[in-house]
Structure formats: C-alpha cells, structure tokens
Structure 1
Amino acid sequence: MESIVVGTAGHIDHGKTSLVKALTGFDADTLDEEKRRGITINLGFAYCTLPCGKTAGFVDVPGHERFVKNMLAGAGGIDIAMVVIAASEGIMPQTREHIHILQYLGIEQAIVVITKIGMVDDDFRELVVEDTKEYLEATSLKHAPIVQVDSLTGQGIPELIALLDSMAAGIERETVLKPARLPVDRVFSIKGFGTVVTGTLQEGSIALNDDLMIYPEGLPVKVRGIQIHEQTVPAARAGQRTALNLTGITVEQISRGCVVAKSGSVQATSVLDVHLSVAADVSQPLKRLEQLKLYLGATEVVAKVVLMGQKEIHPGEECYAKLLTESPVIARKADRFVLRSLSPVQTVGGGRIIDPAAKRSGYTDTQALHIMQIKDQGEPQQVLEAFARENLFGDKEAIAAAANLEDAAAYFDLLLQEGRLLAFENRVIHIEELQALLEKTLHILAVYHDEYPLRAGMIKAELQARLDFTGRSREFEWLQGWMKATGQLGQNGLMFHKADFIPVYSPKLGAIRDEMLAAVHQAGYSPLADYELVGSDKDKDRQAVLEALLQSDLLPIDGHVVILRELYVQAKETAARLARTEGAIRLSDFRDSLGTSRKYALLLLEKMDRDKFTVRQGEERVLI
C-alpha cells in the first residue's frame, strides 16, 4: 500500500479541518476541547484512497499562533501541503508564517485552497484570489495551483481530489532503502497493548518484531504491532503515517521529539552545522550567539546560533552557522529545520542540516566556513573527505552516514589510494590532521626539552594528555608509530623526544654531573643514596642532573640507592661465575667477591631477582 502525506497550513478558522473532513469523511478534531472551542489544538489525522490507488494521509495542523509548535511537529515528512485561505478573510498573519515554515522545511509541492467561497460574492472572492496570487509571487509557492472550494456543499472538492491525485502519482520514494527513522509526534498508552507512538516514517521500513532504538536516550525497543490508517499491517515503509506498538518502554520514557530508528544509524548530538536563512520580514538582524527555539522533525529545543564569519545576519540574508543545542537532538544531513524567537515569539528563519554530528572544533571561522562550504556544495569525494577530516580515527560507516552518501565505499577507496586518508582497522585518519598532530607533538616536545634539557624525553601518558588525545590506546600506539616513521619523533623506552634531541649540559650542569659520577664511582659497591647526591636543600639543578644520569650512567637498585650501571653489569658477571663454579650463589661468597657489606650485596642480589636474572632457593640463588 503506497502512501503520501498531505499537510494543511493556514490561519485559524480558515476551514482546514472542514476541508479534511470533506476530502476524507473523517473529523480530525478528536479532543473534546477542540470540538467545544471549534479550533484545532493538537495534530489531527485522517486518510482516504486517491484514484491512482495511493492512500493519502492528511495531517491537520492547528492554525492559532499559540500552537505553531504543534503545527511544526506534524509538518515533517509532508509530501504535499494544502495552504488554506478563507475567501471571507484572505491572507492573514498565520497564513504568512505557515508559508514561511513550508519554505524552510523544503516542501515544494503545494496547493493553495481558497475555502468558504459560498460565504462571499464573486467579486470579493476574485479579489481574494488576486491578492493571494500577488502575495505568492514573492514566496516559494509562486507556482502552486489555486483551487476554490466550499467544504460544506462540496463545490470544488472533486477538482481538488483530481489535483492531489495527479501530484501523488508522481511521488516516488528514494528513501525506502535507508535505515529506518520515525520522528515521534504523539505518544500514548492503550490498555492491553502498552506504549504506542505515531509519526511519519521518513526513511526506511519497519516490520513486526524489529529491534529498534529510541533516540536520543538510546533505549532498546521491539515492535509489537504496526498500524497504518487504522489498519494492522506487517510492515511500514517511508512516507507512511505509522503507529507503532512498542515493548520494552513506558510512555514516561518517551515523548514528542524522540526518534525511533535502527540501532547505530543515527547519533545524538548537541552541535549542528547548518545553512540558514533569515525571513525578510523579521524586525531586526539575527546576532551571533543569539538563543532561539529550534524545530527539527518533531523536536523543539533551545539552541544558540554561532554565525560563521560574521557578527549578525540581516533580514532576507543567508549564511553558514553552528547550532549549539541545550539538549541532544537527532538529525541527518539535508534535514530541514525552523528557528523561532523566544520573545516575542515569531518565526525568524530556517534552513537545512549540513553536518548532523558536527564538532565545536578548534578551527578559525574562516577554516570552519571553508569546510562547511565543501560539506554543503562539494563533489561527493570532497564531501566525504571533509567529514573524515573532522573525525580523527572516525568509523567509516558513521562518517558515510553523517555525509549521507550511499556510494561512500568507492570514495573511501579513492581517498586511501591518493593518500588523503590512512586506514586503521575500520577507521580512517586524514593526512592533514595527522600532520597537524605531529606539528603539535613536536612543539610540545620542543618546549619540554627547553624546560628539561637533561631529560631523555616525555613519558607517553603525559604526551597523550598534553595532546588532548581521547582515543583508544591502540589508536595512540598507531599514531606514535606513524610519527616515528616520519623520522621526526624518537623513543627511548617509555620516553618520547624529538628525533634530533640530545641532552645538553651547560658548564654549570656539567660540573655537577662530573662531581656526581666521581662520587658514585668512588663509592663503588657501597653505593650512595640519591639524597646524598642531591643534598638536603634539594637543589633543582642537582635534581635535574641526577634524573638525567639515571637515564644513562646510573641505576637505582632499591628505592633511593643508586650505582654505576657498569658496576651492576660486573656484579651480574660475578654472580654468574659463582653459580658456575660453586653450583649456587651464596650471599657470603658474593659479598666477599665484591668486597662490600652484607647489606649492599643483598640489595644487588634482590635487584637481580627482580630483573629475572636469578631466583632464590632457600638461602642460595641460581641463575634463571
């Protein structure tokens, strides 16, 4: 059963609900308050079968300005808009605002319906029609056909149905093969069934028993039942008004604005890269960092607007920007959105999503603007590269989904062949981002070498922290390997240094070094403690020299006790000789061979045990 979605738009009391009833036979006002007050407050739904065989689902939206947010919740996924204008009043404030909204939502197919023609004479009706045509000339609906009807008598309804039928026949779904995504516009519970959500299935298909997720919360659910236009069906597909009975979740855990989607196909974000336009009739410019209400799908959230490269944007102008939302949202590239002011409440603009999972980024405005332009207008390979560049070690599938490219695999291959991207497992790294990280690493090490000229380098954990690298340890290992392969990064054990770095002793530090080495050499196998070399005042220069010597000439054997590395090597040779000639190493023999005390002989043997050179057996030791 192929379906389309038709949405109404227009001022309050212009006959939208009566028109839907004349087309379908259903009264879309279901709330008692709606019937009592004679106005639509929430979204209403009805349907009928068109002559072409497609089912038209009608979304009846409220016209009162207080309920524009409800109108926006139902406007997503509309294929054809019916802009309703009463012949008795003509174009009114909400007519204009709804037309603006349709333009920002990218709804191109529309019919302008002049209703209540039986309430006015022919001259007044023609005047309203002419005024309507004149107004539409400056809008996205300037080519929309105009139909005149009387919903009570049925005059003009057959002509409207024929027009809807011809437009519906030409609508084809290109989004059915994409992962399922349904923005939720209603949530309720039915006794005996549980939680039910409704919305227009924007992409993909959903079948009974499918395992899906509720975003942005990331809650798993299973599809227990599906209805389309009050009919139970085994599956729903893109373009259909759909009701899902879900298990694994309560009505308290889900609300309007949530998204039902295939697990992993979308991600929650609080940063969106967008192209936006400001309405020509707003009273003042939109300023950088201004807070507005963002309407995206069925979501309503406060967002801060960060204009790229400019401090403000004037009425009727366009620009690139970032939207920083107060709470996470779900989007895909090319999704449409609307912006409204907080106070006084009015629609100030809208636009389309360029990057649905953008970064706050450390780029300058000029760099960020350039990347946004590529994402928005570049060739597919350029677009994919721009998305990959902003996702260091980004998952290939996630990058392809964010870029909204179906043939991403081929473009990934080309970028890898050209060396623009490098691969690590199922992830990719942009060469220019790698080079930027290398430059940052070399700068960090250069500053470190200046501050600690005698240290062999910076330990791995500290380098990772200073780089603000938050990736996995395997990714950092790969990154270090790549940097070393360039010949500009060196490694000494756990220490990293610039490849050309050599510890440099000034005359003063050199004198301290010579003094320390002479003292340790003289001590021999009766080694000194480090505090004896540094002194009680913990002189910083002497401490720095000792740290450097511990990386080269000196070796700590137990806590604070240090010895010449060459003497420790000789001690190991002595232990090996005793093991061969005596069959085992006894502490007394080892002590006498070195000419030292029992205390220091034991410290040396325990160091050899820790180094897995010897192993203790009772009171003796043998070689491992």
Structure 2
Amino acid sequence: MDSIVIGTAGHIDHGKTTLVKALTGFDTDTLAEEKRRGITINLGFAYCKLPCGKTAGFVDVPGHERFIKNMLAGAGGIDIAMVVIAASEGIMPQTREHIHILQYLGIQQAIVVITKIGMVEDDFRELVVEDTKEYLATTSLKHAPVVQVDSITGQGIPEILALLNGMAAGVRREAVTRPSRLPVDRVFSIKGFGTVVTGTLHEGSINLNDELAIYPEGLPVKVRGIQIHEQTVTTARAGQRTALNLGGVSVEEVRRGCVIAKQGSVQATCVLDVHLSVAADASKPVKRLEQHKLYLGATEVLAKVIFMGRKEIYPGEECYAKILTESPVIARKSDRFVLRSLSPVQTIGGGRIIDPAAKRSGYTDEQALNIMKIKDQGTPQQVLEVFSWENLFGDKEAVAAVSNIEDTDKYFELLLQSGRIVLFENRVAHVEALQALLEQTLNILEAYHIQYPLRAGMTKAELQARLEFAGHPREFEWLQSWMKGTGQIGQSGLMLYKTGFVPVFSKKMGSIRDEMLAAVQQAGYSPLTDYELAGNDKDRLAVLEALMQTDFMAVDGHVILLRELYAQAKETAAGLACTEGAIRLSDFRDSLATSRKYALLLLEKMDREKFTTRRGEERVLL
C-alpha cells in the first residue's frame, strides 16, 4: 500500500476539518469536547484513495494557538500541506505562524485553500484571494496553487483532489532502506490488545514481530500488530501513517515524543548542532542561553541556544548554533525543528539538524563553526570524514548513521585508500585523531622519563589514566598497537617508553643496582623485603623502583623476588600437579628448598593470578 501524508494548517475555525470531511468522508473531530466546542483540539486522521493509486492519509491539526504543540506533533513527516484560509476572514495570525512552521519543517509542496466562499460576497472573496496571493509571495509558499472551495456544496473539491493526485504521484520514498524510525504522536490502550502507538513512519520499514526499542529510554518492544488506514497489514513503510500494537510495554511507559526505532540505530542526546533561521517578524532577538521550547518530530522540550561567537541573533538572520535540551531527544541529520519563545509565546525560528549527537564543548567558536559548515555543506566524503574524526573508534555503522549519508561503504573505502582513516575490526579511527593522542602520549612519556630516569618506562595502566582518552580497554589496546606501529613508542614487558629512551644509572646508582641484584639473587626463595633492600634511603628507593619494573616483583606486599625465580616456581608447581595429581604445600616447599612461610606466599600469589586453586589442603592447576 503506497501512501502519502497530507497535513492541514491554518487559523482556528477556517474550515480545516470540514474540508477534510469533504475530501474523505471522515469527521476527524472525535473527542466529545471537540464536538461540543466546534474546534479541533487534538490531532485528527482520515484517508482516501487517489486516482494515481496512492492512499492519502490526512492529518487534521488544531488551529488554536493554545494547541500549537498538537499541530507541531502532527506536522512532522507530512508530504503535502493544505493551508486553509477562510474567505470570511482572510489571513489571520495563526495562518502566518503555521506557514512559518511549514517553512521551517522544509515542506516543499502545498496547496492554499480559500474556504467558505459561499458565505461572502464575490467582491470581498476576490479581495481575500488577492491579499492572500500578495502575502504568499513573501513566503516559501509563493508558488503554491490557490483553490477556492465550498466544502458544504463540494465546489472546488475535484480541483483539490486533482492537485493532490498530481503532487502525490511525484512523491518518492528515498528513506525506505534506512533503519526504521517512527516518532510517536498518539498513545492509547485497546482492551484485549494493550498498548497502541501511532505516528508517521519517517524512515525504513516495520514488520510484524519485529523487535524494536522505544527511545530515549531504549526499552525493548515487540510489534504484535500493524494497521495502515484501519487495515491490518504485515509491513509498514516510510511515509505511511502507522498504528503499532506493542508488546512488552505499558501505556505509562510510552508518551508523545518517544521514537520507535531499530535497536541501536539512534542515540539519545541533549546536544544538537543546527542551522537556525530566525523569523523576520520575531518580536525580539534570540539571546544566547535564553530558554525556549524546541519542537522536533513529535517531541516538545525546553532548550537553550548557543551561537558561535555571538551573544544574540536578530530577526531575519541565519546562523549555526548548538541547542542544549533539558531532557534527551532523538534526531537524525537533516531533521527539521521549530523553536518557540516562552514569553511572548510565538514561533521565533526553526531549521535543520546537522549533527544529532554533537559534542557539548572542547572547541573554540571558530573551530566549532568550521566543523558545522563541513557537516552541513561538505561533500559526502568530507562529511563522513569529520564524523569519523569526532567519533574515535566509533562503530562503522553508527558513524554512517549519524552522518546520514547514502552508500557510506564507498566513501569509507576512499578514506581508507587515502590514509585518512584506519579500521580496527569494525571501528573507525581518523588518523588525525590518532596522531593527536600520539603527540599527547609522547609528551607524557618524555616528562615521565625526565622525572624517573631510572625507570624503564610507564605502565599501560598509568598511561591510560593520564591520557585524554576515555575509551574502553579494547580501544586502548588498538590505540597502543597503532602508536607502536609508528615506531615512536616502544614497549618492554608491561612498560611503554619513548623510542630512544634508555634508563640512565650514574656510577653511584649503578653500584646500588648491582648490589641489589646480587642480594636478591643470593636470597633466592628466602626473599628479602623492600625495607631490607632500601630502608628509607632516597637513592636506594629510586633504584628499587626501577628494578621493580624490570627484574624484581613483589610476592605479597613488601616481599621481593626475582621475576625469573617466580616463573621457575610456577613451573615447579605445574610439574608437581602433573606428577602427583595435586600440589601439596610440603612438596612445593621442599622442591624450592625454602620455608613453609615463603612457599605459602608463592602459592597464594598463584591463586590470585588464577594459575592454581585450592581444593581442601591441596591445590590444582586452573
């Protein structure tokens, strides 16, 4: 079932609902209060079949200013707008605001409908039509056809259907192959079925029994039923008004503004990079960090705006900006949004998302501005490169999704061939980001070598703690491997060092080192303590620290043993386990020619390393 979505817009009581009923036969005012008051409060829905074969789903939105958030919840995802203007009143404040909203939402196709033409004299009607065309010439709807209609008698209805049919035939669904995403605009429960949500499927397809998630929380759900225009189907596709019966979630856990999507395909965020346009008729400038309401999809959330290098933006201006939301939102690159002020309450601007998971800080305004320009205006390869640069070791599919580029495999391959990125399994790392971490590492190691000239290097754990890199252990291993591959970082055991560094022992320190090595070697399996070796002497402590990285190890706290002797002790334990079936403390003690105390210390260390484990009074190999 190929569908399009048509949305109404216009001032209260200008005949939107009556027009939809004339086109479809459905009365979209379903609430008792709507019937009583004669106005649309919530979203209404209807549909009809067009001659081109497509089904037109109509979203009838409320025109009253107090219900503007309901209008915005339904306006996202529509293909064609019908702007309704009553011949009895002409263009009114809500008409203008709705037209602004359509512009910010990027809706290109529209029909302007002059309704209630039977209620006015011809001269007045013609004046309204001329005034309307004059106003439209200053807006994004300047090329929209204007049709005069009497919804009661049916005059003009065939012309509207013909226009809608022609526009609908040209609607193409480029987003069908992308991961599924449905912003929820209604939630309710049906007895015997459970939780039902509705919305316009923005991207992808949803199949019966699909396992999806509700964002921003990420709650897993299963699709138990799908309806399109009151017909039960097994698949919904991008562009269709869709009702989903969801399993695994209660009505209380879903709300308008949530997004149903493929698990892991979207990311909740409180920071958005955007291109913002401020309305020319806004009553005042938009100030930095001033609180507003952001409308994104079906989401309404409090938000603040940060401009790059400026404190305010004046009416009629455009700029790049960051939007900080009070609670997490879900978006994709190129999504449209609307911004409304809190006082006075009015639509002050809108625009498009250029990074749906932006960084909060870390750049100068100039750097941030340049990055935003590339994300917004760059070639597909440039856009993918900058997203790879910002998302070090990002999952390849996740980087592709956030950049919102088709055929990313081709551009990833070009970046690989040019040496701009490196792949670690399925993770992407930009060479410049890796190089920046390498420079930090070299600086850290150089300072460490100066401070501790006797030590062989810095442990991996200490380097990871000092480095400005919040990656997981696996990612740090990838980074470390890449850095060693450059030839500028060396490794000795667990120590990392700057290539060319050699521990420098003065004659005095070298003498202390030789003495300590001889003493620990002579002690064998009756080891000395660190205090016996160094006491409180500063020079001896420095030498001991250096030897602990290379030749010595602590068996338990302060007891010092040669590393090679500990390795031999493990071989002895393994031999006893093979020949005797188990390791008995007395046998192990005798094999090492040591005391029970030190034999036990060695076995307990092997237990901690999971080399052995106790079984009663004996030990076995793990």
Q: TM-score, normalised by structure 1?
A: 0.86
Question: Could you tell me whether the CA contact under 8 Å between 2:555 and 2:605 is conserved in 1?
Answer: no
Tell me the equivalent position of 1:233.
Answer: 233
Amino acid at match of 1:403: S
Question: Could you tell me whether the CA contact under 8 Å between 1:305 and 1:322 is conserved in 2?
Answer: yes
Question: Structure 2 vs 1, CA of residues 213 and 502 (structure 1 numbering), >3 Å: closer, same or farther?
Answer: same
Question: Could you tell me whether the CA contact under 8 Å between 1:520 and 1:528 is conserved in 2?
Answer: no
Matched, 1:195 2:216: no
- Within 5 Å, which residues of 2 pair with 1:25-36? 25-36=25-36
Amino acid at match of 1:437: L
Question: Could you tell me whether the CA contact under 8 Å between 1:557 and 1:604 is conserved in 2?
Answer: no
| Offset at residue 448 of structure 1 (A) | 2.7
- Deviation track 1:38-93 (CA, whole Å, cap 9, x = no partner) reads 11111011112223332211111111111111000000111111111112222111
Matched, 1:429 2:448: no
Matched, 1:472 2:472: yes
| Offset at residue 278 of structure 1 (A) | 1.1
Tell me the equivalent position of 1:350.
Answer: 350
Matched, 1:74 2:74: yes
Tell me the equivalent position of 2:332.
Answer: 332
Matched, 1:37 2:58: no
- Within 5 Å, which residues of 2 pair with 1:192-591? 192-504=192-504, 511=508, 514=511, 525=522, 529-532=529-532, 534-535=534-535, 538=536, 543-551=541-549, 559-560=557-558
- Within 5 Å, which residues of 2 pair with 1:102-121? 102-121=102-121
Question: Could you tell me whether the CA contact under 8 Å between 1:223 and 1:245 is conserved in 2?
Answer: yes
| Offset at residue 552 of structure 1 (A) | 5.5
Output the CA distance in 1 between the equivalents of 2:485 and 2:327.
43
Question: Structure 2 vs 1, CA of residues 424 and 100 (structure 1 numbering), >3 Å: closer, same or farther?
Answer: same
| Larger displacement relative to structure 2 (49-58 or 555-564) | 555-564
Question: Structure 2 vs 1, CA of residues 554 and 263 (structure 1 numbering), >3 Å: closer, same or farther?
Answer: closer
Question: Structure 2 vs 1, CA of residues 119 and 431 (structure 1 numbering), >3 Å: closer, same or farther?
Answer: same
Give the superposed CA RMSD: 3.2
| Offset at residue 393 of structure 1 (A) | 1.0
Amino acid at match of 2:453: P
Question: Could you tell me whether the CA contact under 8 Å between 1:558 and 1:603 is conserved in 2?
Answer: no
Question: Structure 2 vs 1, CA of residues 445 and 607 (structure 1 numbering), >3 Å: closer, same or farther?
Answer: same
Amino acid at match of 2:50: L
- Deviation track 1:436-459 (CA, whole Å, cap 9, x = no partner) reads 010111122223333333333222
The 3-state SS of whatever aligns with 1:346 is strand
| Offset at residue 249 of structure 1 (A) | 1.5
Output the CA distance in 1 between the equivalents of 2:296 and 2:371.
23
Question: Structure 2 vs 1, CA of residues 610 and 275 (structure 1 numbering), >3 Å: closer, same or farther?
Answer: closer
Tell me the equivalent position of 1:581.
Answer: none
The 3-state SS of whatever aligns with 1:320 is strand
- Deviation track 1:276-304 (CA, whole Å, cap 9, x = no partner) reads 11111112222233332111111111223
The 3-state SS of whatever aligns with 1:399 is helix
Question: Structure 2 vs 1, CA of residues 540 and 125 (structure 1 numbering), >3 Å: closer, same or farther?
Answer: farther
Output the CA distance in 2 between the equivalents of 1:194 and 1:588.
73
Question: Could you tell me whether the CA contact under 8 Å between 1:520 and 1:563 is conserved in 2?
Answer: no
| Offset at residue 204 of structure 1 (A) | 2.1
Q: Percent identity?
A: 75
Amino acid at match of 1:239: G
Question: Structure 2 vs 1, CA of residues 472 and 117 (structure 1 numbering), >3 Å: closer, same or farther?
Answer: same
> Structure 1: any 5+ residue segments left out of the alignment?
576-584, 592-597, 616-624
Question: Structure 2 vs 1, CA of residues 41 and 492 (structure 1 numbering), >3 Å: closer, same or farther?
Answer: same
Output the CA distance in 2 between the equivalents of 1:523 and 1:212.
63
- Deviation track 1:564-609 (CA, whole Å, cap 9, x = no partner) reads 999x89x99xx9xxxxxxxxx9999998xxxxxx87x985998799
Question: Could you tell me whether the CA contact under 8 Å between 1:423 and 1:429 is conserved in 2?
Answer: yes
Output the CA distance in 2 between the equivalents of 1:16 and 1:25.
13
Question: Structure 2 vs 1, CA of residues 608 and 38 (structure 1 numbering), >3 Å: closer, same or farther?
Answer: closer
The 3-state SS of whatever aligns with 1:223 is strand
| Larger displacement relative to structure 2 (373-382 or 356-365) | 356-365
Question: Structure 2 vs 1, CA of residues 446 and 126 (structure 1 numbering), >3 Å: closer, same or farther?
Answer: same
| Offset at residue 513 of structure 1 (A) | 6.4
Q: TM-score, normalised by structure 2?
A: 0.87
Question: Structure 2 vs 1, CA of residues 134 and 603 (structure 1 numbering), >3 Å: closer, same or farther?
Answer: same
Question: Structure 2 vs 1, CA of residues 562 and 359 (structure 1 numbering), >3 Å: closer, same or farther?
Answer: same
Question: Could you tell me whether the CA contact under 8 Å between 1:198 and 1:241 is conserved in 2?
Answer: yes
Question: Could you tell me whether the CA contact under 8 Å between 1:516 and 1:533 is conserved in 2?
Answer: no
Question: Structure 2 vs 1, CA of residues 602 and 202 (structure 1 numbering), >3 Å: closer, same or farther?
Answer: closer
- Deviation track 1:177-209 (CA, whole Å, cap 9, x = no partner) reads 222221110011111111111111122222322
The 3-state SS of whatever aligns with 1:102 is helix
Matched, 1:6 2:6: yes
Task: Give the number of equivalent residue pairs.
Answer: 589
> Structure 2: any 5+ residue segments left out of the alignment?
573-586, 613-622
Output the CA distance in 2 between the equivalents of 1:564 and 1:393.
39
Amino acid at match of 1:291: Q
The 3-state SS of whatever aligns with 2:345 is coil
| Offset at residue 540 of structure 1 (A) | 5.4
Amino acid at match of 1:370: N
